[in-house]
Amino acid sequence: MTCNDAADALDPYVDGELAPDEAAAFQQHVETCAACRDRLEQRRALRRAIRRVPYRAAPERLRAAVATAPRGRSIRPLLAWAATLLLGVSLGAAGAVLARRGEAGTASEVLTEAVVDAHVRALMGDHLLDVPSSDQHTVKPWFVGKIDFAPPVTDLSAEGFPLAGGRLDYVAGRPAAALVYRRRQHTIDLFVWPDAAGGPDETATLRGFNLRRWSRGGMSFRAVSDLGAADLDAFVRALQR
């Protein structure tokens, strides 16, 4: 092991994150290299110093507030009010969408409209990405605590559909994970939400956008893009692999 390698291994070593053989190689190196041994000793001294800093435990009143709040009694009336308002807004939006499309036809047509609307809204505005990242391990955890399900996030750059990121969206009043993929200059929105009932695969074209719908593992997927039908089908096949 060179000193450069040892510098890279230093922090994972003190944090116990090296594989056993890597840790052994590091130990061997510091036994023979005074400069690297010195750096290791400084890291250990720093850790001892940091661990003498008092831990900030939660105050009792916070503990009491959190322990009692969820059972209906609100710790902060304002917050409860805000949550209610937010719920009202999303229900209202759902109501409005359904009312506007009330005469338009089946539930599936209503959803197709809503999905295309959401896609267009995202493309027009500046709100395409809440979490811009091509790393599926960054995009997936971003949804934790924002929606009550975990959308599967797959990187398809090898198949020619690089992941651009994700955002939280609302489709017909329900929260949906929107995963954003690129194909050349085109954008593909993949909307995901839980749907235990499943349903048949669907293909639709609306206002120049192609749409594909399918279910898998208790989730409902809707891919929408101005991409050609053949390319969008290739995207769906890649995702289902």
Residue 182, C-beta contacts closer than 8 angstroms, at least 6 positions apart: 161, 162, 164, 188
- 89 makes contact with another protein (CB under 8 A): no
List the Cα angle 116/109/98 in 5-degree steps. Answer: 85
- 148 makes contact with another protein (CB under 8 A): yes
Q: Using CB under 8 A, pick the residue from 88, 149, 198, 203 that binds another protein.
A: 149
Helix (H, G, I), strand (E, B) or coil at 107: helix
- How far is 172 from 121, CA to CA, in rounded Å? 13
- How far is 7 from 203, CA to CA, in rounded Å? 55
Query: Closest CB to another protein among 43 and 174?
Result: 43
- 135 makes contact with another protein (CB under 8 A): yes
Q: Using CB under 8 A, pick the residue from 23, 93, 110, 147 that binds another protein.
A: 147
- How far is 220 from 199, CA to CA, in rounded Å? 8
- How far is 120 from 128, CA to CA, in rounded Å? 10
- 141 makes contact with another protein (CB under 8 A): yes
x-marked contacts with another protein along 38-77 as a string, rule CB under 8 A: x--xxx-xxxxxxxxxxxxxxx--xx-xxx-xx----xx-
Binding site for another protein (CB under 8 A): 10-12, 15, 17, 38, 41-43, 45-59, 62-63, 65-67, 69-70, 75-76, 79, 83, 131, 133, 135, 137-138, 141-142, 144-150
